[in-house]
Chains A and B, each alone.
Chain A
Amino acid sequence: DIQMTQSPSSLSASVGDRVTITCRASHSISSYLNWYQQKPGKAPKVLISVASSLRSGVPSRFSGSGSGTDFTLTINSVEPEDFATYYCQQSYISPWTFGQGTKVEIK
């Protein structure tokens, strides 16, 4: 199985900060990388698909980049509603696998 490793596991940020989360795959996954946001007690919600495509309704302060094994999720100017846990997920090869998550907390 392809292992997905996110860093950091958690971070603290203030409203207005720029936040960057990285995700590394154990093997090349081309651009088959998705990002999800999960809030407490809720299901994950897809934010970005195939590395950099912003899903409908997702604010433009979210962006994704990368290919191969290294990927980045960036939140420009974090808003209060962005404090949540973020997961990367590869869909290059079955079984599709997830990163362990990055919790973004309020500083």
Chain B
Amino acid sequence: EEQLVESGGGLVQPGGSLRLSCAASGFTFSKYWMHWVRQDPAKGLVWVSRISSDGSSRFYADSVKGRFTISRDNAKNTLYLQMNSLRAEDTGVYYCTRVEEGRYWFDPWGQGTLVKVSS
């Protein structure tokens, strides 16, 4: 079974940092582009970042550019999101998800990890 499992969320003060992880299993992780998507009550589902299968290409939403860094370790089948200079508006459930080459939708998704930025 193809599975994604996020971890690393929690409560952090504004200006703080957090690193999210996403462990993949049941598929050849190194073949796929991977993405992070955030969900919050105010803005709904928002794409955050993506990384190429070999890690050489990375893209970010304007709202997180310069503060977040996406990375991956294909030997460990794990995706990361380093989140620095956190703001209240970064609060939400963060999902990791996959896009297959030549396809244009997110599938599957992890169960999500909650990040709350608050003093």
Q: Which residues of A contact B (CB under 8 A)?
A: 32, 34, 36, 42-46, 49-50, 55, 87, 89, 91, 94-101
Contacts and interface: CB of A to CB of B under 8 A. Distances in A.
Contacts of A97: 47
Contact of A44 (B46, B103, B104, B106): B106
B105 A91 contact: yes
Given A43-B110, A43-B111, A43-B112, A34 B44 contact: no
A75 B69 CA distance: 40
Given A43-B110, A101-B44, A95 B105 contact: no
A94 B99 CA distance: 13
A94 B46 CA distance: 12
Contacts of A44: 45, 95, 106, 109
Contacts of B45: 44, 87, 89, 98, 101
Given A44-B45, A94-B59, A98-B45, A34 B111 contact: no
Contacts of B105: 34, 46, 49-50, 89, 91
A63 B97 CA distance: 24
Interface residues of B, number: 18
B110 A49 contact: no
Main secondary structure of the interface of A (DSSP, over half): loop
Interface in B86-119: 95, 97, 103-112
12 contacts: A34-B105, A44-B106, A44-B109, A45-B108, A46-B106, A50-B105, A55-B107, A89-B106, A95-B61, A97-B47, A98-B44, A101-B44
B47 A95 contact: yes
Nearest to B62: A95
B17 to A, nearest CB: 24
Contact of A50 (B44, B104, B110): B104
Contacts of A43: 95, 97, 108-112
Interface in B38-94: 44-47, 59, 61
A49 B100 CA distance: 13
A87 B95 CA distance: 15
A102 to B, nearest CB: 11
